């Protein structure tokens, strides 16, 4: 730990910001796109020109991508640890009014360091491709202007999240992407099921956000700053004194880290708050690809990476992160095995892959986690877009039992999805192999029985991943067609604006791994070295270099079991399709549990939702609202009415009565004067 | 002070005020009890004049003309009021064929 702190010191000392003027344009361009398309939708609805909407939506994100690339090269030209910065304006400024009070200053400050560079390139690059794809996918939808307005707004919020220089700005982006997620899941809000899926996502995320806010307050209380660099400086200077601070008996760093992680479980769909993500598939498929696979759901991973200097001081919290990660990875992979909706399989796969990222974060292999985030963005976005292409070609059918034999009908979709399939299964040298294997290796070599346990469970999850992805591919593309005849006549390959993004992402899925080709295989691990200045303790953790022979062995093992899983599944679905039912029968309760998602939604419903509903109805509504709230409101009204009924009799309409009142008043005044004076 | 020690005029402020109060009470009693508008009107005049008497008495006692001046103002206002009031009573009578005040109760709840 001391060694790590010393190295952190060097990193903290060399942090120098270089002022730039163009950073604000990166998030601003999509915001302008949102404004134009949003106003177009407000005032013109579907009469707003479709080519204009498409051009603005894609061009603004492409512009952001170009600027991100420029910023990336500007950043690469600086020394290690330097970053680009732009202070746009002072947003919150609560200056201390009294001696001893601490102020709170949150400027709208954009920071572009090496981690942000990676995130920005993924968000604008993959995001841009998905925008292009959407122009084809939404070609028949009337509310296209609204769709692209939301999509651009999402890009703006996500870029704010990754570029924000302080945690409040990060939180603004965090909530912004949550809002856009809600709007886009419920995009087809005429369907109550889809609208309620959006609501579910919003509510579940709100639970996580509560933890996140508590974490932010904890940080503010502890360090008196919101700025990431100042925070890092504080932790660097006070690392030795951290033990002095605690909250309800928990060491403060652990408390803050766990609170922040609660936020991450909400946004990044980990146990116990993952339940919203599979339902989020109600949104249009490009939304699933962009928000619920490639970018937004990785915000939790990014946040832990950004605040690594806190997590590294909280070993217990790190173990929790890794434990939750690996549990989620295995748990959701078993659900993915039996789902019949093509998007549901991919949704549970996403939850599972996010689990892998949290394993990496939890064992301190931050670079491996971020790298898996990047490769996952490539191949999972590709899988979703491919699935969208299939759904588009099949006139909206999502049930894999009604697919099959699409290999020849949709060759481009098939071949690109195959690349993603091999990548996610972890076959060398595709992108998924490099990133997933790196995580498993880091977990294995992290030391202790815990690391080994995480490795074994993670490997099991990887095997299941290969199995359910092979099942998906064979059910969709290889097995004999089970498509309705009516639908089959319309099956067609998607237009160019949908297949081009597929091909681009396929290329990235195949070759993306070479960005971080491991040293053990003669590579340079460029990605890991690029990010090294971001982590306070890379040297401390990289110290445990394992034995090379073990690393080779584990690589071979994971590729071997993945291949075995693929071949077994292939054989089952290609030659013994009839046996699948028999196997399901044999698995008994386990099959039922997996098919019904372990009844988690039902359990949550019975344990949380229904009690709240019951309390709301029988106590809050029947007692508090009807009796107390309504009672007070009606009571005041009734009282006034009764008083008025009594009082109005004074008004007789005869002038002499009023004169009598005046005389009585005069007498009262006189009586007062004579008795009290 | 002067009035009380003056040997010739053995009438003081207290007498004036007592008379004024008595006039006011008679006027008020008439106002509250009589039903004929004209009598009520006269009762009002009585009350006004009781106030005038009090004003004049104070002015005499303090050797200060302000009170007397004020009494003239009251007279002027009373004259105006008498003109306007009589006109109203005349109109009321034309419309309702009565001058009984308890029959004018249209402004009732």
3-state secondary structure A277-333: HHHHHHCCHHHHHHHHHHCHHHHHHHHHHHCHHHHCCCHHHHHHHHHHHHHHHHHHH
CA triple A200-A275-A161, angle to 5 deg = 75
Residue A104, strand partner residues: A94
CA triple A512-A57-A88, angle to 5 deg = 85
Residue A645, strand partner residues: none
Q: What is the pLDDT of residue B3?
A: 53
Q: What is the pLDDT of residue A539?
A: 44
DSSP A603-648: HHIIIIIHHHHHIIIIIIIIIIIIIIIHHHHHHHHHHHHHHHHHHG
Half-sphere exposure of B55 (CA within 13 A, CB side): 17
Cα–Cα distance for residue pair A134/A43, rounded to 1 Å: 22
Indicate the burial class of A105 (C-beta count within 10 angstroms; 0-12, 13-18, 19 or more).
Answer: middle
- B84 Cβ contact partners less than 8 Å away, ≥ 6 residues apart: none
Say what the ipTM of the complex is: 0.83
Cα–Cα distance for residue pair A349/A494, rounded to 1 Å: 24
| Token output for A288 | 């699933």
Dihedral over alpha carbons A505, A507, A508, A513 (to 10 degrees): 150
| Token output for A33 | 């796109």
Q: What is the pLDDT of residue A10?
A: 46
| Token output for A270 | 């980990």
Query: Which chain B residues have a beta carbon less than 8 Å from that of A665?
Result: none
Query: Which chain A residues have a beta carbon less than 8 Å from that of B106?
Result: 653
DSSP B45-67: HHHHHHHHHHHHHHHHHHT-THH
Q: Which of A648, A654, A659 sits opposite B105 (nearest CB)?
A: A654
Q: Spell out the domain ranges in chain B.
A: 2-103
Q: Would the CB atoms of A653 and B31 count as touching at under 8 Å?
A: no
The answer on pLDDT for B69 being more than 90 is yes
Q: Which of A643, A652, A656, A658 to mutate to test the interface with B (most CBs of B within 10 A)?
A: A656
Half-sphere exposure of A479 (CA within 13 A, CB side): 24
In this structure, the number of other CB atoms found within 10 A of the CB of residue A627 comes to 11
| Inter-axis angle of helices A228-238 and A192-223, nearest 10 | 50
Q: Which of B104, B107, B109 sits opposite A648 (nearest CB)?
A: B109
Query: Which chain A residues have a beta carbon less than 8 Å from that of B28?
Result: 663
Q: Which of B28, B101, B109 sits opposite A651 (nearest CB)?
A: B109
Q: What is the pLDDT of residue A198?
A: 94
Provide the pairing of β-strand A246-247 with A104-112: unpaired
B36 to chain A: nearest residue by CA?
A: A656
What spatial distance separates the first Cα and last Cα of chain A, rounded to whole Å?
86
**Average pLDDT of adjacent 10-residue blocks, chain A of 677 residues:** 43 69 94 94 88 94 96 91 90 77 83 94 95 92 93 96 94 95 94 93 94 94 89 88 84 93 94 92 93 93 94 91 95 92 94 95 92 95 94 87 87 93 91 91 85 93 94 90 81 88 94 87 84 71 62 89 92 83 82 87 91 93 92 95 91 88 93 85
Q: What is the CA radius of gyration of chain A?
A: 30
Q: What is the pLDDT of residue A445?
A: 86
The pTM assigned to this predicted structure is: 0.81
**Domain B2-103 -> CATH class:** mainly alpha
Cα–Cα distance for residue pair A129/A126, rounded to 1 Å: 5
Instruction: Tell me the C-alpha to C-alpha distance, in Å, between residue A557 and each of A329, A431, A460, A554, A600.
Output: 19, 17, 12, 5, 33
Q: Which of A127, A148, A133 is nearest to A61 (CA)?
A: A127
> Judged by CB atoms within 8 Å, which residues 30-59 of B form the interface with A?
31-32, 40
| Token output for A159 | 């870029």
Q: Would the CB atoms of B108 and A663 count as touching at under 8 Å?
A: no
3-state secondary structure of A104: strand
Helices of type H across A45-102: 50-76
B105 to chain A: nearest residue by CA?
A: A653
Q: Spell out the domain ranges in chain A.
A: 376-587, 599-676
Q: What is the pLDDT of residue A75?
A: 93
3-state secondary structure of B35: coil
| Token output for A388 | 């969208």
Q: Would the CB atoms of B32 and A655 count as touching at under 8 Å?
A: no
Indicate the burial class of A279 (C-beta count within 10 angstroms; 0-12, 13-18, 19 or more).
Answer: buried
Q: What is the pLDDT of residue A80?
A: 84
B67: left (phi over 0), alpha (psi -120 to 50) or beta: alpha
Q: Would the CB atoms of A656 and B104 count as touching at under 8 Å?
A: no
Query: Which chain B residues have a beta carbon less than 8 Å from that of A653?
Result: 104-109
Q: What is the pLDDT of residue A3?
A: 41
């Amino acid at each position: 730990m001391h060694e790590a702190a010393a190295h952190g010191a060097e990193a903290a000392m060399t942090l120098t910001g270089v002022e730039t003027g163009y950073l604000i344009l990166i998030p601003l361009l999509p915001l302008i796109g949102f404004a134009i398309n949003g106003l177009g939708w407000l005032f013109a609805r579907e009469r707003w020109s479709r080519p204009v909407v498409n051009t603005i939506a894609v061009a603004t994100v492409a512009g952001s991508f170009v600027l991100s690339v420029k910023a990336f090269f500007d950043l690469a030209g600086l020394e290690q640890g330097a970053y680009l910065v732009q202070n746009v304006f002072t947003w919150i400024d609560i200056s201390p009014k009294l001696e001893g009070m601490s102020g709170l200053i949150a400027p709208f400050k954009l920071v572009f360091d090496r981690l942000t560079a990676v995130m920005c390139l993924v968000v604008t690059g993959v995001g841009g491709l998905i925008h292009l794809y959407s122009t084809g996918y939404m070609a028949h939808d009337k509310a296209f202007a609204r769709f692209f307005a939301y999509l651009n707004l999402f890009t703006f919020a996500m870029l704010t999240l990754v570029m924000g220089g302080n945690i409040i700005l990060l939180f603004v982006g965090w909530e912004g992407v949550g809002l856009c997620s809600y709007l886009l899941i419920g995009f087809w809000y005429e369907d109550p099921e889809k609208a309620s899926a959006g609501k579910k996502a919003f509510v579940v995320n709100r639970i996580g956000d509560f933890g996140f806010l508590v974490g932010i307050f904890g940080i503010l209380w502890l360090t008196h700053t919101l700025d990431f660099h100042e925070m890092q400086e504080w932790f660097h200077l006070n690392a030795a004194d951290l033990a002095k601070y605690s909250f309800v008996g928990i060491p403060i760093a652990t408390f803050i880290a766990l609170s922040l992680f609660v936020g991450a479980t909400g946004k990044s769909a980990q146990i116990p708050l993952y339940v919203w993500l599979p339902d989020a598939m109600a949104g249009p498929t490009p939304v699933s690809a962009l928000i619920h696979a490639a970018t937004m759901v990785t915000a939790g991973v990014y946040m832990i990476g950004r605040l690594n200097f806190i997590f590294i001081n909280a070993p217990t919290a790190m173990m929790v992160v890794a434990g939750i990660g690996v549990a989620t990875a295995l748990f959701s992979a078993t659900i993915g095995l039996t789902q019949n909706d093509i998007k549901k399989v991919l949704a549970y796969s996403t939850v599972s892959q996010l689990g892998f990222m949290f394993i990496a974060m939890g064992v301190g292999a931050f670079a491996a986690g971020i790298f898996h985030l990047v490769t996952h963005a490539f191949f999972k976005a590709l899988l979703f877009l491919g699935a969208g292409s299939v759904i588009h070609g099949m006139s909206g059918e999502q049930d894999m039992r009604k697919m099959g034999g699409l290999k020849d009908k949709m060759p481009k979709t098939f071949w690109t999805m195959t690349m993603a399939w091999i990548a996610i299964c972890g076959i060398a040298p595709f992108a998924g192999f490099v990133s997933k294997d790196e995580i498993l290796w880091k977990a294995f070599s992290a030391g202790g029985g815990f690391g080994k346990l995480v490795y074994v469970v993670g490997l099991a999850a990887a095997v299941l991943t290969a199995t359910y992805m092979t099942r998906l591919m064979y059910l969709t593309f290889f097995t004999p067609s089970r498509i309705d005849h009516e639908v089959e006549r319309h099956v067609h390959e998607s237009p160019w604006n949908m297949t081009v993004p597929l091909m681009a992402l396929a290329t990235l899925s195949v070759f993306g791994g070479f960005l971080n080709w491991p040293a053990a295989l003669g590579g340079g691990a460029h990605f890991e070295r690029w990010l090294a200045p971001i982590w306070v303790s890379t040297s401390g953790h990289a110290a445990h270099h394992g034995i090379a022979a073990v690393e080779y062995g584990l690589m071979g093992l994971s590729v071997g079991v993945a291949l075995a899983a693929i071949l077994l599944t292939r054989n089952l679905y290609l030659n013994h399709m009839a046996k699948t039912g028999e196997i399901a029968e044999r698995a008994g309760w386990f099959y039922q549990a997996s098919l019904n998602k372990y009844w988690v939604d039902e359990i949550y419903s019975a344990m949380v939702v229904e009690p709240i509903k019951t309390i709301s109805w029988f106590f809050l509504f029947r007692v508090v609202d009807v009796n107390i709230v309504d009672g007070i409101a009606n009571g005041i009204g009734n009282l006034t009415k009764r008083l008025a009924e009594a009082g109005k009799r004074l008004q007789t309409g005869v002038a002499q009565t009023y004169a009598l009142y005046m005389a009585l008043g005069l007498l009262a005044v006189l009586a007062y004067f004579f008795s009290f004076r | 002070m002067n009035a009380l020690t003056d040997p010739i005029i053995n009438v003081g402020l207290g007498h004036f005020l007592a008379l004024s109060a008595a006039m006011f009470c008679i006027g008020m009693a008439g106002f509250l009890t009589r039903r004929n508008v004209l009598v009520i009107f006269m009762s009002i005049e009585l009350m006004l004049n009781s106030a005038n008497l009090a004003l004049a008495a104070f002015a005499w006692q303090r050797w200060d003309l302000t009170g007397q001046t004020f009494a003239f103002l009251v007279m002027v206002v009373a004259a105006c009021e008498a003109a306007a009031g009589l006109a109203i009573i005349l109109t009321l009578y034309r419309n309702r064929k009565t001058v009984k005040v308890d029959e004018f109760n249209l402004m009732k709840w």
